[in-house]
Amino acid sequence: MQADPVRLERSGDIGLILVNHPPVNALSHAVRLGLIEALAAFEADGSLRAAVLACDGRTFIAGADINEFSQAPEQGEPLLHVFLRALDACQKPVVAALHGTALGGGFEVALACHARVIAPDGYVGFPEVRIGLLPGAGGTQRTPRLVGPLVALDLVTSGRHVPADEAMALGLVDEVATDLRRAAVARAGQLAAAGLLPRVADRTIPAFDRAAFEAALALVHRRARGALAPVRAADAVTFALTSPLQDGMAYETALFRELLAGPQSRALRHLFRAERIAARPPHGVAPRPVRRVGVVGGGTMGSGISVALTDAGLDVTLVEVSPTAADAARQRVQAVYDRQLRTGRLSERLHEERTGRVRYESDLRALRDCDLVIEAVIEDLDAKRAVFRALSGIVRRDTVLASNTSYLDVNLLADEVDAPERVLGMHFFSPAHVMRLLEIVRPARALPEALATSLAVARRLRKQAVVAGVCDGFIGNRILAKSRAQAEYALEDGALPADVDAALEAYGMAMGIFAVLDMAGLDVDWADRRRKAAIRDPRQRVVPVFEQICEKGRFGQKTGRGFYLYRDGQRLPDPDVTTLVEAASAARGITRRTVPPEEIQQRVHAAMVNEGANVLSDGIAARPADIDVVLVHGYGYPAWRGGPMHEADEIGLREILHRVEALHDASGLGWEPAPLLVELARTRKTFADLNR
Ligand code: 3HC
């Protein structure tokens, strides 16, 4: 810990209150104290007419110190509010100079200053909802006064980072300046010379469209899907419309404390930490430089991966089997960018730049100069082996070779190449340019440099990386297979696909299991299920409905039928599927019953946790928290529950073990309680104990 995180300097007759508290200048106890003291010193110094509040390092204050949230409340003194009150009472102007990410409490400090200047590449925002909180230092009260309730509602409920030019257009800042410090000093001087002391606190709420606000509120409630923080943040903005600032601040503080003490913020803060630890590269290992990336295969995955790479500024060579197939891949990539151009998400310039950065080829030798090659051909071991074998004779010996396989043994692919220690898996999720999760599959032989390189690429792509070991399905698909099996058993017990999906969506899942299957295409999983069926113990409980649907050529949304019927853009129950499900129950001699939503939720969750424990014992995931990150970012598990393993700790592992035992009783072979779960429950430990 550094001695003096805040200091007062001078630039002529302008004071410079400077924060230097790496890595992100968070408002830790010492920083709050330092700010209060520096402001007092500035006020007391009659030779200083105005001040600039700025930060050293990579960013302006990025918010409260998240690590302090778990401490006892009395350790929080002095509160940030003390500094904000001092700023409000200050009789000389203070200008905030924002660079990097001025977020949360950091932007709240800026809003209490008398003006805000931002660097062109800076961002502002209130990401508190992402950790289950709301802006707790006036953000929900000052923002509607400054820019109106509609913008305020958007910012505090979405948590999005607003770039400098948009912040300027919205009125969140007063100036965008390349020479930030100089511009802020000049503005501070001008305010002092004019005798101006503009304060957001003195403003009243500007006129706004009430109906639009109500509609936006309704949307926030609809989108929350069980998350409390956006709803509370919206409450606080609504409160601001009819209340004086001080009352609003008190209301906001009460809501903030309630959220901070609650399970959702605990869960989201667990994820915040887990995401960063999961993506950490091996200590002291430098990644290899990556400029040009080869992608083999230009289907849905290959083209999505190419878009993700180009979005991140990398050059791509995409290789298909023939010029015609390469052209089809070009059209797929082009279609994504054209849509972005049409919907205004991409400028003409960026459209041209990104589409121009992909080379399309039909000969693997075009990958000679690539630093990394990602294979994304069909999910067939022989096909993938052939690609790796061929690549081995073409690329440099230090080129990292990655497979986008979802299930297959990456070791067998490594066996095909010269220098197998540069081979690993990079398992993207579809659509690859949208989904955040990237499982990095690490074969035992993989070099730390290869791992570091793939993690660095993941970071560049703004993906959430998690390292997994080699097994069938890695972390995510292996756990999904078990939770899906429970969903299918629920069908046989008496539920219909819509009942299962409704239960899971009520739990907070982004989509129900059967709706997801239909969307992805049942044929994708069918091949894998056939492969598994061939090696499965015949005594295991299996529901035949999936296969029966596929045998009719119904592969989900794209064929108009799957677990559901798709008509006029609507997902409807399919009577044929009901017949199949009822027949499956009859064949097993099950009297169909109503399966309550809670039972479905608990069975699916218990299945995830039990398999998660096996995944840990097998060394496929290094930490329980890694499993949480995978399920949240790749499988729609509600983030506010923190992931299945965190949720299991919250419920208690003895209770979870009872639930798993019930699954075992009902479903038999393959559902034995995981030894690790049994051990943790017996010794009254938690999964969190293994995260340390
Ligand atoms: N408190 C404590 N540590 C923080 C932090 C914070 N607010 N924000 C980031 N850090 C730490 C990270 O844990 C990480 O530590 P590590 O190196 O040990 O893993 C380090 O800073 C760097 O963070 P990132 O790896 O995330 O760096 P990036 O450059 O990718 O991102 C960032 C920087 C955009 C600032 C990102 O870290 C971020 O979004 N931070 C959270 C910001 C936030 O949520 N602010 C609101 C806090 S709540 C609040 O302000 C309440 C107020 O309203 C009263």
Alpha carbons 124 and 103: distance in angstroms, whole number: 5
Q: Are 510 and 434 in contact (CB under 8 A)?
A: no
Residue 272: closest CA among 26, 625, 605, 616 = 625
Alpha carbons 647 and 476: distance in angstroms, whole number: 17
Tell me the average pLDDT across 37-65: 97
- Spacing, Cα 426 to ligand 1 middle (Å): 26
24 lines ligand 1 (CB under 6 A): yes
499 lines ligand 1 (CB under 6 A): no
275 lines ligand 1 (CB under 6 A): no
Residue 401: closest CA among 386, 422, 384, 380 = 422
Residue 684 to residues 277, 655, 679, 688, Cα–Cα distance (Å): 25, 11, 8, 12
138 lines ligand 1 (CB under 6 A): no
Residue 56: closest CA among 119, 99, 27 = 99
Encode pLDDT of 352-385 as tens digits: 999 999 999 999 999 999 999 999 999 889 999 9
Alpha-helical runs (H) found in 573-623: 575-588, 597-617
- Say whether domain 6-261 belongs to CATH 3.90.226.10: yes
pLDDT at 74: 62
63 lines ligand 1 (CB under 6 A): yes
Q: Whose CA is nearest to atom 26 of ligand 1?
A: 276
Alpha carbons 296 and 377: distance in angstroms, whole number: 6
List 570's β-bridge partners, or say none.
Answer: 567
Which three-class secondary structure state does DSSP give residue 136?
Answer: coil
Question: pLDDT class for 573, splitting at 50, 70, 90?
Answer: very high
Question: Which contiguous run of DSSP H or E holds residue 548?
Answer: helix 545-551
Question: pLDDT class for 70, splitting at 50, 70, 90?
Answer: confident
Q: Which one-letter DSSP state was computed for residue 553?
A: T
Catalytically active residues, by annotation: 108, 128
Encode pLDDT of 642-668 as tens digits: 999 999 999 999 999 999 999 999 999
Q: Whose CA is nearest to atom 35 of ligand 1?
A: 62
SS (HEC) of 309-346: HHHCCCEEEEECCCHHHHHHHHHHHHHHHHHHHHCCCC
Query: Torsion angle, CA of 254/256/262/266, rounded to 10 degrees?
Result: -160
639 lines ligand 1 (CB under 6 A): no
Q: Give the number of the atom of ligand 1 that is nearest the alpha carbon of residue 134.
A: 53
Give the domain 476-691 fold: N-(1-d-carboxylethyl)-l-norvaline Dehydrogenase; domain 2 (1.10.1040)
Encode pLDDT of 417-455 as tens digits: 999 999 999 999 989 999 999 999 999 899 999 999 999
- Spacing, Cα 24 to ligand 1 middle (Å): 6
643 lines ligand 1 (CB under 6 A): no
Alpha carbons 112 and 94: distance in angstroms, whole number: 9
Encode pLDDT of 670-690 as tens digits: 999 999 999 999 999 999 999
Alpha carbons 571 and 555: distance in angstroms, whole number: 14
- Spacing, Cα 273 to ligand 1 middle (Å): 9
Question: pLDDT class for 317, splitting at 50, 70, 90?
Answer: very high
Residues 6+ apart with CB under 8 A from 326: 298, 318, 319, 320, 360, 361, 362
In the chain, % of residues over pLDDT 90: 93
User: What DSSP line would sit under 156-172, residue for residue?
Assistant: HHH-PEEEHHHHHHHTS
CATH architecture of 292-468: 3-Layer(aba) Sandwich (3.40)
Residue 451: closest CA among 607, 244, 280 = 280
Question: pLDDT class for 563, splitting at 50, 70, 90?
Answer: very high
65 lines ligand 1 (CB under 6 A): yes
| Residue with token string 């393993």 | 645
**Signed CA dihedral, 632, 633, 638, 641: sign only:** positive
Alpha carbons 553 and 522: distance in angstroms, whole number: 10
Residue 140: closest CA among 132, 170, 130, 151 = 151
Q: Whose CA is nearest to atom 19 of ligand 1?
A: 276
Most ligand 1 atoms within 8 A of CB, residue of 24, 111, 271 to mutate? 24
Question: Is the model's pLDDT at 397 over the cut of 60?
Answer: yes
In the chain, % of residues over pLDDT 70: 99
67 lines ligand 1 (CB under 6 A): yes
- Spacing, Cα 512 to ligand 1 middle (Å): 32
Domain boundaries, the chain: 6-261, 292-468, 476-691
- Spacing, Cα 2 to ligand 1 middle (Å): 18
Q: Are 412 and 403 in contact (CB under 8 A)?
A: no
Question: pLDDT class for 527, splitting at 50, 70, 90?
Answer: confident
Question: pLDDT class for 171, splitting at 50, 70, 90?
Answer: very high
161-163 and 123-125 strand pairing = antiparallel
Encode pLDDT of 272-301 as tens digits: 999 999 999 999 999 999 999 999 999 999
Question: pLDDT class for 525, splitting at 50, 70, 90?
Answer: confident
Q: Are 452 and 285 in contact (CB under 8 A)?
A: yes
Residues 6+ apart with CB under 8 A from 549: 522, 561, 562, 563, 577, 580
Q: Give the number of the atom of ligand 1 that is nearest the alpha carbon of residue 126.
A: 46
137 lines ligand 1 (CB under 6 A): yes
Q: Which one-letter DSSP state was computed for residue 373?
A: E
Question: Is the model's pLDDT at 145 over the cut of 80?
Answer: yes
What φ, ψ does residue 511 adopt, rounded to 5°? -150, 155
Q: Are 546 and 488 in contact (CB under 8 A)?
A: yes
Which of 54-63, 221-230, 534-543 has the least mean pLDDT? 534-543
Question: Which contiguous run of DSSP H or E holds residue 116?
Answer: strand 115-118
Question: Is the model's pLDDT at 75 over the cut of 80?
Answer: no
686 lines ligand 1 (CB under 6 A): no
Q: Are 631 and 608 in contact (CB under 8 A)?
A: yes
Residue 162: closest CA among 123, 110, 104 = 123
- Spacing, Cα 106 to ligand 1 middle (Å): 11
> What average pLDDT does the structure give for the chain?
95
127 lines ligand 1 (CB under 6 A): yes
Alpha carbons 420 and 222: distance in angstroms, whole number: 50
Alpha carbons 416 and 413: distance in angstroms, whole number: 5
The tokens for 564 are: 């559901």
- Spacing, Cα 140 to ligand 1 middle (Å): 20
- Spacing, Cα 25 to ligand 1 middle (Å): 9
Question: Is the model's pLDDT at 313 over the cut of 60?
Answer: yes
Q: Give the number of the atom of ligand 1 that is nearest the alpha carbon of residue 123.
A: 34
Which three-class secondary structure state does DSSP give residue 283?
Answer: coil
Q: Are 517 and 563 in contact (CB under 8 A)?
A: yes
Question: Is the model's pLDDT at 2 over the cut of 60?
Answer: no
Alpha carbons 145 and 244: distance in angstroms, whole number: 11
pLDDT at 531: 84
Most ligand 1 atoms within 8 A of CB, residue of 66, 157, 253 to mutate? 66
Q: Within 13 Å of residue 691, how many CA atoms lie on the same side as its CB?
A: 20
101-103 and 123-125 strand pairing = parallel
Q: Are 544 and 536 in contact (CB under 8 A)?
A: no
Q: Which one-letter DSSP state was computed for residue 422?
A: G
Encode pLDDT of 593-617 as tens digits: 999 999 999 999 999 999 999 999 9
